[in-house]
Structure 1
């Protein structure tokens, strides 16, 4: 996990390309499902194209072992599908994220996910396909 966290920090400080390469290498060399879920989840946030982001978010969902990832994964998928003008799929994943909200802690992480659900829901209602400021990939 230390290597994953280090790569994620690179991406957060602006070196998205190096972060993508490091996480992709980690993905290629990992066999642990939970580790692969984390790698794919973070790789999705480092993509410049929404289709690539969707692909990594779907990979993360396939690997998930810990239900604690599900609110965030479904939120990300809802936003991916919203930006791809697929509101039905966006709403399905938004509802799946909402169903998991009671399981979230009342901390900063829980607040971020709850707020994200609200932002994506508002954008869906407005018919927007524009990236949201709250999206980690922007």
Structure 2
């Protein structure tokens, strides 16, 4: 199935920081009750483009909230191999990292524990290794 919105999100992400206004306009178009795959993907990318940690936290929280409404069936309409539970390690890792930078150690540890607990759902590929490595790196930083 072709997903025009995911294609538009991907094109804006390819533009990097220059795509931020396009991504924000797409967020307005999708709306807070829009397709959870679109909201999760878009919020996840927008979080990475923020210059301010508080703004990044807001987008990371929106991504996690959207994934709670996402089903495997919907995700697999976009890509047959997607499983929602495999989104969780990355989303929680991002939240743990931003809470760490905002000096919220308890919230950082909570999200890091959630990322670690969900890490077994990651694929055994480069993406999975990157997220597992991020979890390990943040664990080491939190122990300092």
TM over 0.5: yes
TM-score normalised according to structure 2 size = 0.81
Q: CA deviation at 1:117?
A: 0.3
Deviations 1:32-56 (A, max 9, x none): 1111110000000000111110000
Which of residues 34, 53, 57 in structure 1 aligns to 2:60?
Answer: 57
Q: What is the aligned residue count? A: 121
Matched residue SS, 1:35: helix
Map 1:44-123; keep pairs closer than 5 Å: 44-64=47-67, 65=70, 66-123=84-141
* Structure 1: 4+ residue segments shifted above 4 A: none
Report what 1:34 is aligned to.
37
Q: Secondary structure at the match of 1:73?
A: helix
Q: Which runs of 5+ in 2 are unaligned?
A: 1-5, 71-83
Partners of 1:45 and 1:95 lie apart in 2 by 21
Shift of 1:67: 2.3
1:19 matched to which residue of 2?
19
Larger-Rg structure: 2
- Compute the TM-score of the two structures, normalised by the length of structure 1: 0.85
- Give RMSD over aligned pairs: 0.8
CA deviation string 1:68-108 (max 9, x = no partner): 21110000000000001111000000000001111111101
CA distance in 2, matches of 1:52, 1:81: 12
Gaps of 5+ in 1: 127-138
